[in-house]
Amino acid sequence: MTLDSLRRLVLEPALSLLPDEMNSPEAQLMLLAIALQESDLDKRPLAEGGPHSYWQSGSPDEMVHFVLRCPVTRDLAVAVCDARQVPPVDERVRAALEHDDVLAAAFARLLLWTDPARLPAIDEVDAAHDLYMRTWRTPDPRPELWCEHHARALKSWLSAP
């Protein structure tokens, strides 16, 4: 999948399921950069198995559980699950993440929403990496790739119609 396809076919529908204030240039850029960082747009199983998506987190079990139960995201997560016809139950959501990219993108955005800090501006690459590290808690962060992935995401986002 290309970044442009991901943006048009996955991010736009996912963000349309959420309140307008959750859809911003900063949010879109973060989601594109994280998808590159986590999967390089190649769905692959996590080393320990389990669900995989473009936004595979260090622990998808933990991410789904947290988003479904966090007071800040719980109601929104249930609404997204209803819209995607997935019961808002940890196991069912995790299973759906493997094939429902829109659900995965929405849950990724909700995970970012749990962080109390504002989203970094589009040119704040280090702050964006810090947010990614705080929210994703990935066991293999590969910090040497973040600047490249952020730049690719920004270039794609800026060239979008």
Per-residue pLDDT of 124-148, as tens digits, reads 999 999 999 999 887 777 889 999 9
Nearest to 77 by CA among 137, 17, 10: 17
The per-residue pLDDT for 43 is: 62
**Whether the predicted pLDDT of 47 surpasses 80:** no
Mean pLDDT of 3-17: 95
**Total domains, the chain:** 1
Residues of the chain with pLDDT > 70: what percent?
Answer: 91
- Residue in the block written with tokens 């994280």: 34
**Burial of residue 19, with CB atoms counted within 10 A of its CB: 0-12 exposed, 13-18 middle, 19 or more buried:** exposed
- Please state the separation of Cα 1 from the chain's center in Å: 15
**Whether the predicted pLDDT of 46 surpasses 80:** no
Residue 98 — very low, low, confident or very high, per pLDDT cuts 50/70/90?
A: confident
**Whether the predicted pLDDT of 25 surpasses 60:** yes
Residue 23 — very low, low, confident or very high, per pLDDT cuts 50/70/90?
A: very high
Give residue 60's domain range.
3-18+26-41+50-158
The per-residue pLDDT for 59 is: 64
Mean pLDDT of 105-121: 95
The per-residue pLDDT for 101 is: 94
Helix 90-97 with 101-113: angle, nearest 10 deg: 120
Q: How many CB atoms lie within 10 A of CB 57?
A: 26
The per-residue pLDDT for 137 is: 82
Threshold 0.75, pTM exceeds: yes
Q: How many CB atoms lie within 10 A of CB 126?
A: 11
